[in-house]
Amino acid sequence: MSPFGFILDARSSSSSKNMSAYDNKAFKDIGKDPAVTTSIDYKSQSSQGFSKISQTWQLNKIFQIQNQLPTREMEILTYVISDIDTFVGEVEKVISKTKPTGPPFTAWLPAPQYIDYFQKIKYAFNLLGKITCLNESSIHGLILNLFNTLEFVTCHCPDGENLPIKVNCPLLTPEAIQLLKKSNIYLENFGDAWTKTRADYKPEPPAYTPSFYDGWQLPPPS
C-alpha cells in the first residue's frame, strides 16, 4: 500500500525544444531550489520493488471489453503508456543491479529520461481528460496505475523532491485536474507546474510535442 494511500497532497523528452531547460547538468543545480516536503517516505520506498501488469496491455483490454474503436486520443495514449511502461522497466533494471547490503540508492538514469517520463505522465492525464467514450471506472483505474508509476519513479529519481517541480511542459488541463481530484489524487507537492492550467501559469511554457521510443509520430488532428 502506498504510504499516502494514492494521495499526494500537501494538505493532509520529448523533443529538444521541450527539454531545452534540462540536460544532464540539470541535477547539479537542482539542490539550489527550496526543498519541498512531500508525504512520500523516500527511505522506505527506495528498498521496495514495483510489481505491475503492463498498463499498455490493460489499456488495450479495456478497449476490447468496451468494444471501442480507438479515437485519436486513445491511440496516442496507447503509445504514451507504452513508453511509460518501458521507462519504468529501465528503472527496475537499475534497482535490480543494486546490492541489497549496500547504502540507500537512487536509480540513476540520464536526467532527460526522467524529464521525458514526467512529461508523458502529465500528457497521459491530459489525454484521459479528453477521452469521453470510456466508462468512469476504467478511467479511474488507469489514473491510479499512472499514479503508482509516478510514486515509484519519484522515489527512485536522483532528486525526486525537486525535479518534478521543474517540469512545466505540458501543463495539466482543467479536465485532467478534475479527473485527478475525483480519484483523490492531489499534486500540490509538485508545485504550480502540476496544479495550474495554461491560463493561470506564467510565463507560459512552450507547446508540448512528445517523441516516442519507437519513432512513432502523432497523427494529424481530425
- Residue 136 banded pLDDT, cuts 50, 70, 90: confident
- Quick: pLDDT tens for 19-39: 333 333 333 332 333 222 233
Threshold 0.75, pTM exceeds = no
**For residue 123, which of 63, 209, 39, 9 has the smallest C-alpha distance?**
209
Longest C-alpha distance within the chain, in Å?
A: 54
Omega before 170 cis (within 30°)? yes
Of 66, 79, 72, the closest CA to residue 135 belongs to: 66
Least confident of 9-18, 130-139, 200-209: 9-18
Q: Rounded to a whole number, what is the distance in angstroms from the first to the last CA of the chain?
A: 41
Residue 117's alpha-carbon distances to 58, 184, 201, in angstroms, are 19, 22, 21
Please check whether residue 163 is in contact with residue 114, taking contact to mean a CB–CB distance below 8 angstroms: yes
* pLDDT at residue 4 is higher than 50: no
Omega into 70 within 30° of 0, i.e. cis? no
Give how far the C-alpha of residue 156 lies from the chain's centroid of Cα atoms, to the nearest Å.
Answer: 13
- Highest mean pLDDT (candidates 2-16, 20-34, 119-133): 119-133
